[in-house]
């Protein structure tokens, strides 16, 4: 197969959801269809407790699992599928957001009883910013949930995205009987021996189902007053195709996968800092680091840098240039994510992810290029932290390793650092609790610097222009600080404190993001 043909087959996406919506369950079903696992329910071994989500240190001990489950690759229906994990919960971190920079599409899993939840909304906003396609799977139809029309309305109101139902549930919970598949114009049956039926058979098949008449009315309404399906609008992220189903009972998941793969885009081109678009079909290899996972092996200080290949093909041992330092490196020790038994092992092309062993060479956002040209991809966005901790060295004699550790971890993008303007104290900012735990663990293990961390809780961060800086503006409800680029920033106690400040100093421009 030519490189071009191989690239055309790639489909790289992330599943975004609030914890417990069913992301793991769906992922397992997808891997099962891809023949990667024999039985759904084996990826995380949740039942046996070998991979408790909340326990990062346990995850640490099982690095093998944690690396492979960061990227899951399988072949299905002539496509090579890469699923990138976006951990939720305690695992939530800037990595979660940055992973979304490395995908070409997102699948949003929603619990039908809960609707759009906080984490889904946050992740969706990052995805929306990139204008990539979002496919929605409304899960747990085997349980009683909210009215489907309600859920669609919520998508539009809370997320501001138009939706198109690809199928429509017939009943729910105990009376769940199947799906009216608008897209394929057929019925998908929940029970019995047949999986599909003609639309015309519906009246007979669902004669006893009190919801079927309602479904026909809903479908008519959707066809008349709902959004029209438009592949173009799907590809620009303006319309989300919505699928209903039940991951636990493996219903509707395969239809979802088949249809998703019909519409999910092939690898995107990526822009450089000079606004040039690098096409996946450019012959020369290029890629960027979107995530660094620490301490793959406890005996060494190494990590894995996850690289999204933007163009060309990776070849083991190839020489690439790291744009930031200008140095040439050999990509010798690289992990790929295809099961060993597969044919064409070792082939990684644009759209794929490779894991490069790193002993401190790489930083998140780094560009790698082969060939003669040098360029950098657009920097990855930084995300405004919400949680803060004060941090000091436990042992005053270890100041040197303390500073070195902080400097390197901040540079790597593992955590954000702020310095109190008045006292000079260090404060760490993160988007999720896990980032602090990882920081502490790595400081102790990699830099032999024990730290004392004092929670400061949530803060609302706002940057201000250096010329507006006036220390007298600082009060008991905010902390004036400098970010790691020495830019002045206020950490407000809450939104109320921010509002109060904005009223008092209407001329001071406060920015949500570092400009
Ligand atoms: P997550 O990765 O998004 O956090 O969710 P996960 O798949 O772990 O699912 C969360 C819970 O919801 C699990 O139950 C799972 O079995 C259940 N679930 C997922 N999909 C469906 C569905 O379609 N219908 C129903 N009824 N339940 C579903 P749990 O009891 O929390 O975990 P477990 O003990 O079963 O592993």
Question: Over the stretch 181-210, which tens digit does the pLDDT of each residue have?
Answer: 999 999 999 998 999 999 999 999 998 888
For residue 189, the surrounding DSSP H or E stretch is strand 186-189
Identify the residue whose C-alpha is closest to ligand 1 atom 30: 20
May I ask the CATH architecture of the domain 3-176+228-263? 3-Layer(aba) Sandwich (3.40)
Inter-residue contact 458 to 411 (CB < 8 Å) = no
**Is the per-residue pLDDT at 59 higher than 60?**
no
Per-residue tokens: 14: 């992330």
What gap in Å lies between CA 29 and CA 106, rounded to an integer?
17
Q: 142 in ligand 1 pocket by Cβ < 6 Å?
A: yes
Average pLDDT over residues 450-470: 95
Fold category of 387-511 in CATH: Alpha-Beta Plaits (3.30.70)
Q: 7 in ligand 1 pocket by Cβ < 6 Å?
A: no
Domain ranges of the chain: 3-176+228-263, 270-369, 387-511
> What share of residues in the chain are helix, strand, coil (percent, to 5)?
30, 30, 40
- pLDDT-based confidence at residue 387 (cuts at 50, 70, 90): very high
Instruction: CATH number for 270-369: choose from 1.10.510.10, 3.30.565.10, 3.40.50.300, 3.40.50.10490.
Output: 3.40.50.300
Per-chain mean pLDDT for the chain: 89
- CB neighbour burial string for 41-61, b if at least 16 within 10 angstroms, e if fewer: eebbeeeeeebebeebeebbe
The strand ranges marked E within 301-379 are 303-311, 313-314, 318-322, 327-331, 334-335, 348-349, 353-358, 367-369
Say how many Å lie between the CA of residue 355 and the centre of ligand 1. 29
In the three-class reduction of DSSP (H, G, I as helix; E, B as strand; rest coil), residue 92 is classed as: coil
Inter-residue contact 18 to 119 (CB < 8 Å) = yes
Pocket probe mutation, ligand 1, options 25, 51, 69, max atoms within 8 Å of Cβ: 25
The strand ranges marked E within 59-144 are 71-76, 79-84, 105-111, 134-139
Say how many Å lie between the CA of residue 58 and the centre of ligand 1. 21
pLDDT of 41 reads 53
How many CB atoms sit inside 10 A of residue 185's CB? 9
Biggest CA–CA distance in the chain, Å, is 81
Average pLDDT over residues 55-84: 68
pTM: 0.89
Q: 43 in ligand 1 pocket by Cβ < 6 Å?
A: no
Identical fold, 270-369 and 387-511: no
Of 126, 100, 444, the closest CA to residue 306 belongs to: 100
* Per-residue pLDDT tens digits for 320-370: 999 999 999 999 888 887 654 444 446 899 999 999 988 888 989 999 999
Inter-residue contact 328 to 377 (CB < 8 Å) = no
Query: What's CA 351's distance to the chain center, in Å?
Result: 16
- 279: which DSSP letter? P
């Amino acid at each position: 197969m030519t490189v071009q043909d191989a690239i055309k087959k790639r489909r790289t996406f992330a599943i975004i959801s609030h914890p417990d919506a069913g992301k793991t369950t769906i992922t397992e079903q997808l891997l099962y269809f891809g023949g990667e696992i024999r039985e759904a329910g084996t990826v995380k071994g949740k039942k046996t407790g070998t991979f408790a989500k909340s326990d990062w240190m346990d995850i640490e001990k099982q690095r093998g699992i944690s690396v492979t489950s960061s990227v899951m690759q399988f072949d299905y229906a002539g496509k090579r599928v890469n699923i990138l994990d976006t951990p939720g919960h305690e695992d939530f971190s800037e990595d979660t957001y940055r992973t979304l920079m490395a995908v070409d599409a997102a699948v949003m899993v929603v619990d039908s009883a809960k609707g759009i939840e906080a984490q889904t909304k946050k992740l969706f906003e990052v995805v929306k910013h990139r204008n990539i396609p979002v496919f929605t799977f409304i899960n747990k139809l085997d349980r009683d949930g909210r009215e489907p029309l309600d859920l669609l309305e919520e998508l539009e109101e809370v997320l501001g995205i138009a939706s198109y139902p690809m199928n429509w549930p017939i009943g729910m919970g105990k009376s769940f009987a199947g799906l009216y598949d608008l897209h394929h114009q057929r019925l998908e049956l929940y029970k019995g021996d047949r999986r599909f039926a003609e639309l015309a058979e519906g009246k007979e098949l669902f004669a006893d189902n009190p919801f079927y008449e309602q479904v026909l009315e809903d479908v008519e309404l959707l066809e008349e007053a709902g959004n029209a399906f438009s592949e173009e609008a799907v590809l620009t992220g303006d319309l989300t195709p919505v699928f209903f189903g039940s991951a636990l009972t493996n219903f509707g998941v395969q239809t979802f996968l088949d249809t998703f793969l019909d519409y999910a885009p092939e690898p995107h081109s990526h822009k450089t800092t000079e606004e040039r678009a690098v096409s996946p079909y450019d012959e020369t290899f290029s890629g960027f680091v979107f995530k660094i996972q620490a301490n793959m092996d406890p005996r060494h200080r190494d990590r894995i840098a996850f690289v999204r290949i933007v163009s060309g093909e990776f070849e083991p041992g190839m020489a690439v240039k790291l744009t930031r330092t200008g140095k040439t490196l050999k990509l010798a020790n690289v992990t790929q994510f295809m099961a060993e038994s597969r044919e064409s092992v070792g082939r990684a092309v644009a759209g794929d992810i490779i894991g490069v062993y790193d002993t401190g060479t790489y930083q998140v956002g780094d560009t790698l290029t082969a060939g003669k040209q040098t360029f950098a991809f657009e920097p990855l966005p930084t995300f405004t932290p919400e949680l803060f901790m004060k941090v000091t060295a436990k042992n005053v004699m270890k100041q040197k390793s303390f500073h070195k550790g902080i400097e390197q971890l901040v540079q790597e993008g593992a955590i954000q650092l702020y310095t109190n303007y008045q006292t000079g104290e260090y404060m760490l900012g993160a988007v999720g609790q896990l980032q602090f735990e990882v920081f502490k663990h790595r400081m102790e293990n990699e830099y032999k610097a024990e730290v004392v961390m004092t929670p400061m809780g949530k803060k609302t961060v706002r940057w201000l222009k250096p010329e507006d800086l006036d220390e007298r503006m600082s009060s008991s409800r905010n902390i004036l600080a400098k970010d790691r680029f020495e830019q002045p920033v206020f950490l407000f106690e809450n939104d109320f404190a921010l509002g109060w400040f904005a009223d008092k100093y209407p001329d001071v421009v406060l920015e949500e993001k570092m400009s």
